[in-house]
Structure formats: C-alpha cells, structure tokens
Structure 1
C-alpha cells in the first residue's frame, strides 16, 4: 500500500486509515468477531493507521483493538487516539461535555495505555476543543507526555484555523482529524489552507458521510437501535431523499468510471491532496474489501468536474451533526 506523511513533522502512514468507532456501537450493535477480523484484514492489506477514541463505548473499542492487535509487531501499525469527551452510562449519545485539563489528559492516557496493552500512543488528540481550558494548556500536557515517551505525535480534531495556530505554536501538530467528504467541505475555506501553510496533515473522517454516500443506504432504511444516524439531520425524512438523489447522480459517474460509489467518494477525498489521509469506518471485511481499491481509482480533471457537477459544494441538506453538537465544532458543514 502507498504511504502518505502526516504533515512535515508527523509519521508516514498508509494512504488509507481505518476508523473503528462503528465497531463499538456507534451505528448500532456490531459483531465483535467480525470487527476483530476486519482490523486484522486491514493490517494484512497494509493499513497501518488505526483510529480510535477512549470514549468509544467507554473503553470497549480500545479493549477490542487490544485483542485484534495482540501478537502484532508494535512498529507495524500506528494508533491514533482521541480523548476528552465525557459520557454517562447507558446507550445513545449520553455525552456530558469535555475535559481537557492537563491532569485529565494524563489520566485519560494512563487508562488508554492499559486498555490498549501498549506503552505508547502514536498520535494523541483532544476530540473537541474544551471551552473551559485554553488549548495551550491541553497541548502543553500532551507535550509533556511526548517528552516522557508515552506519546509520539500531537494531533488535533475538529478545531478552527485560529486554534490550530495556537496549538502549533506550543508544539508541532502532526495532523488535524476533521470531517471531509463530498457532502462536508467547510474545511476548504480556512482550515485546509492553514494546515498547508503550517505543514500539518489532515486525516479525513466521514468520507462516506456515515454511510449516506456509500451507495448502500436507502431512504426506507431505518437506523438500528443505538445507531447515532437516527439523530442526524442528514438522515432525517425530507433531507435523506434529497441527499440520496445526489448519490444517484454520483453513481452514474462511478459506473462510467468502473468503480463503486464508495470507491469514488473515497478517491475524491484522496485526490484533494497528498497531505490528506482518508479514514474509512468499515465494520466488516466486505466493506473493507470494497474500500481498499479506492486508492487505485485515478481521477482526471474531467472526472473531478463531473463529480463536482453531481454533488456541488453545499448541495447536501441537513447539518452533519445534531444541533446540540454543531456549536462545539471548529467548522460547520
């Protein structure tokens, strides 16, 4: 598999990464054995970047990864871990705010290292900006963990251009993780130019719009119990039909190109720059097998123009998160 580098100060990683949130209840109940097999299949295929969060089912995802990674050479993969989001017990999005105080950062990492069964995390990042804690204090704590050898690189997630500059002034940022897809392109205004000015990479999540632009979603498909998409405005009645009409237009481009809709959508993100690494949230080996060939899809200028015509920027209907979460994001849709 080809590699890309996470910015000028970051590590070399596979050109496609694996996001594992969906393996721990984010989209409803998942098959544990299949999830583990999917992680292992990704590693066998050359994927080296595995992304998780300590709040993905409150440690469930890290424990699952520990099992999937057991026996693997620790230098053969990189772990990207998000921290700082608080949750209560119970199903659904029972989020209780953020905690990115320096003492909390170190506490969260101690738990993650134990659950993951490792002595270091490769990229450590606050999942969201904590409005009560200056980003300089949070980054300073991560820097201390880097100096102590427990973390290799600093990452950020879902912050604006000004916050990126403030964080980078304290310690070099390897990459920003943020949603970027054909239906979510707000990063193109200020965030992406800032990253490129500072030499910071971008790991793009939501490249398939949480399945909406995967080519496998239908308007009559209801979210399963515990599936966060049931709360997403883009999947709501009235919006989802409009958005799937965009997917239908994208499908015509994909068929002409000889690939699937999902492969085309992933290839589009990858084509936006060598400094961008798409994360795919495949929960099964079948979906992983479909995603991997996206790296071989070469998009010409004419292809990109056709894709833009099929799904113009701003054409999606509905916010990418429920309203309660939109205010905590560095950029909008």
Structure 2
C-alpha cells in the first residue's frame, strides 16, 4: 500500500501537498477528452489529491462546468479553487489581452462561477491577473465582501507583484499567491516569495513541470497545433535544444533515484518550503499517478543544489507584462 499523500495548509484550508491543475482538460493543450478528464478527476480524489484548480476563462467556462460533474457527488472531498479577471474572445476562448478587476465585474464573475460549478461556496478565489487600471484595494475589497457573504472562503492573487501582494494584504489576508514556479522558472524567488512569507501567504506553483518540458516528453515531439507552448521562447529553436540538454541531466539525476525527471522536478519544488503547493496540470490518469508519487520522493541535498543551479534558455513567456503585475495606485 502506498504512503498517504502529505498535507499542507493554505490559510485554514487543509490541502494535499500536490494539487491538480485542470486547465488542460478544456484549454490550450490540444484536443479535449471529456471522459478521460472526468476519470482523471475522480482518480485524483481517490489518491488523496483534494485541491482542484480551475478558472472561469478556461474554455470560456467549460472547465468549471466539467468540474461540476465531480462536485455533484464529491464536494466534501474537494478544496475548490477558481479565478476571475482575464477576459476572453467568446469565439476563440483565447485571452483578448484585457483584464477586469473592477468591483462590479468581480461581483458578476463570482456569481457566474458559482452557477457553472454548481456550488454555494468557492474555497479559494483568485484574481487571475491584477488589473493595471484598477487599484488592488478595490478588487480585494469586493472579494472581502464575498467572504462576508459566504460566497468564497479565502482570497488569492495570481501573478501579482510583491508590492501588489502587500497592498492587497492590507485590505484582507491573502491566503495564496499563485505563479509559475519550477526548476526552470525562478523569478518569483527574488521578491514575491519573501513577501509572501512575510505575510503568511501560501505559494501555489502552476506549471511546476515547465509546461511539460521538465518531464522529458518534449524530446519526443514538439508541441502540435492547438498547443500554446509553440509560442513560448523556451520551446523554440536553439532555446529548446539547450533546455532539452538540461532536462537530460535532470533525467540522469532521476534515474539514480529510481524516479522520473518530472518526479524529481516536483520533489525539488516541494523541498523549497512547507508553504509551497505545486499544482501540476494533466488530463490523463497515467501522468497524474506519476506526479502524485513525487510527493514522497526524497532527493539528496547535493542533487537539490545542482537542480537549483540550472539556468534555462529563453523567457518563460513572450510577454512579461502578464507576470508579477502591479495595479493602479489608490486615489
């Protein structure tokens, strides 16, 4: 019998040390497979993964509706996280470059998510990206009213700067800040991680497997049509070749531990602190089970140090304006 999945805390929420990012079940990673996605969600819960992460923009609400199928029968097993704020083109389901953090939009968005999810309360509700045109105090003030109304339990921010996180926390405690963090994405460590730890805010890491690169799967095939990774600098040309060489070294370390490269990448992130909760995304049971096994993998200190020293080629995104965002100042 396998060891139980370790637990961590996001404010008063008791969560599995690894959550499940559900985006790829509806959006950005090629063709969706509803039956396999539902089976993966149920398998995650069976394995003790209780933090399910979605957003209203994933498939223009499709992902929240998908999760509602599992929430109908297993709500009490789930710590439910969703997000609002990024606006999409209704025809393509892709972001249209706009964010709305206004109080009026926040109130509309939470009600729409509650309806799609079929629940009365969202456990962790994130502003998906801070709105440069709206003071964070306005947005978080509206979210605090949702807490008072029982619509949400905890407030989170995604890809917020350290300054924005501090300003938000002055209005209401921020339970979690979610950002990309992995062996290949370390920029969060400069300012956001220290700020979060100063404030007692948990660190939820999305794309902890480098959008799949750290699993080694990129060596077998490049991203295909409908896969947004083909637009990312790290997945292009010489950058990709250089990064795959680094992944090869991660694979060598993993082989010595009887593990996979992806498991070592997740174990590295878990070792960064008890306040870190990675949410690797997958839409298949096979990868889910591989990821979950990383929660109990022990990586020697010297290997962790070598992994920390790896420097990938290319930025994590072609547009840095979408990460570690600031908002308008208060008036």
| Smaller-chain TM-score bracket | over 0.9
Q: Deviations over 1:144-196 (max 9, x none)?
A: 00000000001111011101100000000101011100000011111111111
Deviates more, 1:9-18 or 1:99-108: 9-18
**Equivalent residue, structure 1, for 2:206:** 205
Paired residues of 2:103 and 2:139 also in contact (CA < 8 A): yes
**Paired residue secondary structure (2:170):** helix
**Equivalent residue, structure 2, for 1:67:** 69
**Equivalent residue, structure 2, for 1:301:** 301
TM-score by length of 1: 0.93
Deviates more, 1:88-97 or 1:268-277: 88-97
Q: Deviations over 1:13-67 (max 9, x none)?
A: 1111000000002111121100110011001111110000000010000011111
Distance 1:46 1:285, change over 3 A: same
For the pair 1:318 / 2:314, whether they are aligned, the reply is: yes
Q: Deviations over 1:63-82 (max 9, x none)?
A: 1111133211x222111111
Q: Distance in 1 between matches of 2:223 and 2:252?
A: 26
**Equivalent residue, structure 2, for 1:154:** 155
Q: Distance in 2 between matches of 1:276 and 1:129?
A: 21
Q: Distance in 2 between matches of 1:48 and 1:212?
A: 25
**Equivalent residue, structure 1, for 2:6:** 2
**Equivalent residue, structure 2, for 1:217:** 218
1:10-159 residue pairs with structure 2 within 5 A?
Answer: 10-72=12-74, 74-91=75-92, 93-159=94-160
**Equivalent residue, structure 1, for 2:238:** 238
Paired residues of 1:91 and 1:226 also in contact (CA < 8 A): no
Deviates more, 1:176-185 or 1:233-242: 233-242
Distance 1:92 1:65, change over 3 A: closer
Q: Distance in 2 between matches of 1:259 and 1:79?
A: 30
Paired residues of 1:14 and 1:49 also in contact (CA < 8 A): yes
How many pairs are equivalent?
321
Q: Distance in 2 between matches of 1:92 and 1:103?
A: 22
Paired residues of 2:58 and 2:93 also in contact (CA < 8 A): no
- Mark the runs of 5 or more structure 1 residues left unpaired by the alignment: none
Paired residues of 2:129 and 2:158 also in contact (CA < 8 A): yes
Paired residues of 1:40 and 1:69 also in contact (CA < 8 A): no
**Equivalent residue, structure 1, for 2:185:** 184
**Equivalent residue, structure 2, for 1:281:** 281
Q: Distance in 1 between matches of 2:93 and 2:119?
A: 29
Q: Distance in 1 between matches of 2:174 and 2:207?
A: 21
**Equivalent residue, structure 2, for 1:329:** 323
Q: Distance in 1 between matches of 2:232 and 2:96?
A: 15
Q: Distance in 1 between matches of 2:143 and 2:270?
A: 29
Q: Distance in 1 between matches of 2:223 and 2:31?
A: 11
Q: Tell me how far 1:214 sits from its aligned partner.
A: 1.1
Q: Distance in 2 between matches of 1:222 and 1:114?
A: 38
Paired residues of 1:175 and 1:202 also in contact (CA < 8 A): yes
Q: Tell me how far 1:94 sits from its aligned partner.
A: 4.2
**Equivalent residue, structure 1, for 2:329:** none
Q: Distance in 1 between matches of 2:78 and 2:276?
A: 18
TM-score by length of 2: 0.94
**Paired residue secondary structure (1:47):** coil
Cα RMSD (Å) of the superposition? 1.3
**Paired residue secondary structure (1:255):** helix
Q: Distance in 2 between matches of 1:125 and 1:152?
A: 11
- Mark the runs of 5 or more structure 2 residues left unpaired by the alignment: 326-331
Q: Distance in 1 between matches of 2:175 and 2:317?
A: 26
Paired residues of 1:23 and 1:61 also in contact (CA < 8 A): yes
